[in-house]
Structure 1
Amino acid sequence: MNTPRILSTPGANAYAYPLLIRHLLANVANQTDAEIVSGELRFGYRAFVDRVTRLAALLTARGVRAGDTVAVMDWDSHRYLECYFAIPMMGAILQTVNVRLSPAQIDFTLRQSGASFLLHHADFAPLCAQLLLALPQIGGLIVMDGADEDNDYEALIAAASPDFIFGDFDENAIATTFHTTGTTGDPKQVFFSHRQLVLHTIALAATLANQPDGQGMRRTNVYMPMTPMFHVHAWGMPYVATMLGVKQVYPGRYDPATLLALKRREGVDFSHCVPTILRMLLDANAAGGDSLAPWTFVIGGSALPAALAQEAEMAGITILAGYGMSETGPVVALARGLQPDVAKCCRAGFPAILVQARIDMDKGGELLLRAPWLTQGYATQPDSDTLWADGWMHTGDVAALDGDGALRIVDRLKDVIKSGGEWVSSVDLEDLLVALPGVAEAGVIAMPDAKWGERPVAFIVAARGAPPPDMDLLCVQLQQHVASGRISRYAIPERLVLVEALPRTSVGKIDKKALRAMLA
Structure 2
Amino acid sequence: MAVKLIPPADDAYNYPLLIKQLLLSAERYAGDNEIVGGNNGQRFSYAEFVERVNRLANVLTEAGIKEGDTVAVLDWDTPRYLECFFAVPMIGAVLHTVNVRLAPEQIVYTMNHAQDDLVLAHDDFLPLLAQVKDQLTTVKSYMQLTDQAQAPEAPLETIGDYEGLLAGAMTEFDFPDFDENAVATTFYTTGTTGNPKGVYFSHRQLVLHTLALASTTSMNDNMQLMQSSSVYMPITPMFHVHAWGVPYVATMMGLKQVYPGRYEPATLLKLFVSEQVSFSHCVPTILQMVLSSEQAKAIDFSGWQVLIGGSALTEGLAKAALDRGIQIYTGYGMSETCPLLSTTWLPRNAADFDTSEQVQTRVKTGKPVPLVNMRIIDTNGRFLPHDGEAMGEVVVRTPWLTQGYLHEPEKSEELWANGWMHTGDVGSIDSGYTLQIKDRIKDVIKTGGEWVSSLDIENLISQHSDIELAAVIGLPDDEWGERPHAVVTVREGATVDHDAVVQFMQNFIDDGVIEKWAVPDTIKVVDEIPRTSVGKIDKKLIRSQLQSD
Normalising by structure 2, what TM-score? 0.92
Moved more, 492-501 or 291-300: 492-501
* Structure 2 counterpart of 1:246, one-letter code: L
Q: Flag structure 1 segments of 5+ consecutive residues without an equivalent.
A: none
Q: Distance in 1 between matches of 2:222 and 2:310?
A: 24
Tell me the residue number matched to 1:419. Answer: 447
TM superposition shift of 1:496: 1.5
CA distance in 1, matches of 2:25, 2:529: 46
Q: What are the residue-to-residue correspondences of 1:124-203 with 2, within 5 Å? A: 124-145=125-146, 146=148, 147-148=151-152, 151-203=160-212
Q: Quick one: which amino acid aligns to residue 428 of structure 2?
A: A
Question: Contact 1:192/1:375 (CA < 8 Å) preserved in 2?
Answer: yes
Q: CA RMSD in A?
A: 1.4
DSSP-derived class of the 2:293 partner: helix
Q: Deviations over 1:381-420 (max 9, x none)?
A: 0000000000000000001113432111100011101112
Equivalent position to 1:274, from 277, 283, 295: 283
Report the more deviating stretch, 81-90 or 147-156.
Answer: 147-156
Q: Per the alignment, in what secondary structure is the counterpart of residue 66 of structure 1? A: coil
The answer to whether the aligner puts 1:491 opposite 2:492 as a matched pair is no
State the match for 2:64 in structure 1.
Answer: 63
Contact residue 189 and residue 199 of structure 2 kept, 8 A: yes
Query: Which among 284, 292, 310 is matched to residue 319 of structure 2?
Result: 310
8 A Cα contact 1:458 1:493, kept in partner: yes
Residue 479 of structure 2 corresponds to residue 451 of structure 1: yes
**Is the 2:58–2:169 Cα contact (8 Å) retained in structure 1?**
yes
Q: Which residue of 2 aligns with 1:434?
A: 462
Residue of structure 1 in register with 2:386 after alignment? none
Match of 2:255 in 1: 246
**What CA distance in whole angstroms lies between the structure 1 residues aligned with 2:294 and 2:330?**
21
TM-score of the aligned structures, taking structure 1 as reference length: 0.97
Please give the alpha-carbon distance, in whole angstroms, between the structure 1 residues aligned to 2:404 and 2:137. Answer: 28
Give the Cα–Cα distance (whole angstroms) in 1 for the partners of residues 90 and 188 of structure 2.
Answer: 21
Deviation at 1:144, TM superposition (A): 1.1
Give the Cα–Cα distance (whole angstroms) in 2 for the partners of residues 281 and 235 of structure 1: 20
Q: Secondary structure at the match of 2:185?
A: strand
Map 1:97-496 → 2, pairs under 5 A? 97-145=98-146, 146=148, 147-148=151-152, 151-284=160-293, 288-337=297-346, 338-339=350-351, 340=355, 341-362=358-379, 365-379=392-406, 380-467=408-495, 469-496=496-523
Q: In structure 2, what is the Cα distance between the partners aligned to 1:28 and 1:252?
A: 22
CA distance in 2, matches of 1:390, 1:482: 40
Aligned position for 1:53 = 54
Distance 1:214 1:513 in 2: 34
Hey, which bits of structure 1, 4+ residues long, moved more than 4 A? none
SS of 1:225's equivalent?
coil
Following superposition, the deviation at residue 214 of structure 1 comes to: 4.7
Give the letter aligned to residue 289 of structure 2: M
1:205–1:140 Cα change, 3 Å: same
- Verify the 8 A CA contact 1:256 1:280 in the aligned structure 2: yes
Bigger drift between 334-343 and 364-373 goes to 334-343
| DSSP 3-state at the match of 2:245 | helix
Report Cα offsets for 1:271-290 as digits up to 9, x if no partner: 00011111111112666443
Task: For structure 2, list consecutive stretches of 5 or more residues without a partner in the other structure.
Answer: 154-158, 381-390
CA distance in 2, matches of 1:318, 1:113: 39
Name the % identity: 51
Separation in structure 2 between the aligned mates of residue 131 and residue 317 of structure 1, nearest angstrom: 44
Aligned residues: 517
d(CA) in 2 for partners of 1:458 and 1:230?
Answer: 30
Asked if 1 retains the 8 angstrom alpha-carbon contact of 2:269 and 2:295, the reply is no
Structure 1 window deviating more from structure 2 (88-97 vs 177-186): it is 177-186
Distance, in Å, in 2 between the alignment partners of 1:403 and 1:264 is: 42
Distance 1:509 1:58 in 2: 36
- Structure 1 residues 13 and 350, CA, compared in 2 at 3 Å: closer, same or farther? same
Distance 1:23 1:76 in 2: 23
Q: AA paired with 1:197?
A: L
Contact 1:183 1:511 in 2 (8 A): no
Find the aligned partners of 1:288 and 1:100 in 2 and give their Cα distance: 29
Q: What is the CA distance between 1:360 and its match in structure 2?
A: 0.6
Specify the code of the residue in structure 2 equivalent to 1:495. T
Q: Give secondary structure in 2 for the equivalent of 1:343.
A: helix
